[in-house]
Structure 1
Amino acid sequence: MAGHSKFKNIMHRKGAQDKKRSAMFSKLSREITVAAKMGTPDPDMNPRLRAAVLAAKAQSMPKDNIQRAIDKSSAGEGDNYEELRYEGFGPGGVSLIVEALTDNRNRTATNVRTIFSKNGGNLGASGSVSHGFDRLGLITYPVSAGSADKVLEAAIEAGAEDVESGEEIHEIWTAQEDLHEVEKSLEKLLGEPESSKLAWRPHNQVGVGEDEAASLLKLIDALDDDDDVQTVWGNYDVPDEVMERLSA
């Protein structure tokens, strides 16, 4: 249960949160409303809603916005969204999983396919990529939560499967079905996490050079800019110094 964190290279947003805050809040609100509609509007009783609220808080989304999104579900307002997953390949043979929430399946499929084709990628069939990933629970804490040894000890006690501590965050991995229980146990030991969600963890990382990385990150940013796309996961590993140059 150790190792250097590569998660920041798995889900890349390249500062999009700061530059496109309004669009990001819209996506967060959509996830909150969908999560609340699927269960109870109480985050303490609805693990998916709790995860959505944590994600919104992590991006400094105002409390009023969060509550409005929850209230929409109770009032039966808003569109009915469908969860979709797309799988494809990016530059350098990188595997990508795209998760979307949409009220128009045809529009989203066309947009995602076009983005892949215009940015050096290829959209694959269902299952063409996901077999190389595990669907797991992921709980993250900032480094201020404690030392790597402290977090590791807490994770073992809480029933987690793996821990990776990096320079910025601690990543605690759990079985998919154990996410909520492990999170509750960790909160007693370490406080409220920064995020708690279901994630796609690749079996192997694909090293990407600077030229391919530039094209790959352009593809990921284009996908992330689509209103219906919620999350983009991948198995790429871009060296830190390359990532810093390309993100400048």
Structure 2
Amino acid sequence: MGRIFEVRKATMFARWDKMAKQFTRIGKEIAIAVKAGGPDPSTNSALRRCIQNAKGVNMPKDRVEAAIKRAQGKEMENYEEIVYEGYAPHGVAVMVETATDNPTRTVANLRNIFKKGDGVLGNSGSVGFLFNRMGEFKVKKEGIDLEELELDLIDYGLEEIGEDEEGNIIIRTPYEEFGHMSKALEDKGITPISAELIRIPTTTTHLNEEQSKDVLELVDKLEQDEDVQKVYYNLS
């Protein structure tokens, strides 16, 4: 019984940690969106997207409103979005998206994490060519015919459409078509669960279980850093 309790407690804390990280990430995205386009989601599409994503991870409404209000304050940090590139162990390419108010701190932390994980932080452009930047929308399937939706969205930059393991519809577009697809879904009365710009590897690296563990441990350390928003890698 004691062992079961410990496992459940560890799982619960892991879930809380993940949720806290998601809330922090979206809070920074809200701050950046408000600074760039103002606090009104009806006229700020980036902020509107942040609010949709907040709902997708069950971020409380009052926390979203507080983040918007805080972003309007003069004392609010000015976050800079910087992408870092490098290699994990065994030649796996890694891209790290950050939002930071102190790039000197961020690059020092990331360099240290890569080094301790037997990886290396590279220069800009060192692995970026191994990833395609795309827009990804997650939509609830209820009441939607997948084939009909696919035909409707072809003219708005649709590149891929399918379902994830939870039964949601996943829509992907080229980076430059992200805005067109967002507007198309809005015009059709479809509110995405989430709408994000992601990076898809063009080639993947196959490793054995032990080698994969080395890579994933480094990725986990990177994701825990307070300045890191997202981590992408080309491990298959």
* TM-score class, shorter: 0.7 to 0.9
Aligned-partner Cα distance in 1 for 2:205–2:142: 30
Contact 1:17 1:24 in 2 (8 A): no
Secondary structure of the 1:236 match is coil
Shift of 1:91: 2.7
Higher deviation after alignment, 196-205 or 100-109: 196-205
Q: How does 1:181-192 map to 2 (within 5 A)?
A: 181-189=180-188, 191-192=190-191
With structure 1 as the length reference, what TM-score do the two structures score?
0.80
Aligned-partner Cα distance in 2 for 1:188–1:65: 28
> Which structure is higher in RCO with an 8 Å CA cutoff and minimum separation 6?
1
The 1:214–1:143 alpha-carbon spacing in structure 2 relative to 1, beyond 3 Å, is farther
The 1:222–1:143 alpha-carbon spacing in structure 2 relative to 1, beyond 3 Å, is farther
Equivalent residue letter for 1:119: G
The 1:145–1:139 alpha-carbon spacing in structure 2 relative to 1, beyond 3 Å, is farther
Aligned-partner Cα distance in 2 for 1:147–1:215: 42
Q: How does 1:125-164 map to 2 (within 5 A)?
A: 125-144=123-142, 146=144, 148-164=146-162
Aligned-partner Cα distance in 2 for 1:45–1:164: 30
| 2:8 matched residue in structure 1 | none
Shift of 1:184: 2.4
CA-atom RMSD in angstroms: 2.3
Aligned-partner Cα distance in 1 for 2:37–2:190: 25
Shift of 1:126: 0.5
| 1:33 matched residue in structure 2 | 31
Contact 1:98 1:229 in 2 (8 A): yes
Aligned-partner Cα distance in 2 for 1:207–1:42: 46
Shift of 1:99: 0.6
Aligned-partner Cα distance in 1 for 2:126–2:143: 38
Contact 2:157 2:174 in 1 (8 A): no
Higher deviation after alignment, 58-67 or 45-54: 45-54
The 1:205–1:60 alpha-carbon spacing in structure 2 relative to 1, beyond 3 Å, is same
Equivalent residue letter for 1:140: K
Secondary structure of the 1:127 match is coil
Aligned-partner Cα distance in 2 for 1:140–1:16: 24
Aligned-partner Cα distance in 1 for 2:156–2:81: 30
Aligned-partner Cα distance in 2 for 1:99–1:88: 12
Instruction: Answer with 1 or 2: which has the greater Rg.
Output: 2
| 1:198 matched residue in structure 2 | 197
| 2:109 matched residue in structure 1 | 111
Aligned-partner Cα distance in 2 for 1:209–1:48: 40
Aligned-partner Cα distance in 1 for 2:142–2:234: 27
Higher deviation after alignment, 217-226 or 196-205: 196-205
With structure 2 as the length reference, what TM-score do the two structures score?
0.84
Is 1:66 the counterpart of 2:64 in the alignment? yes
| 1:218 matched residue in structure 2 | 217
Contact 1:41 1:74 in 2 (8 A): yes
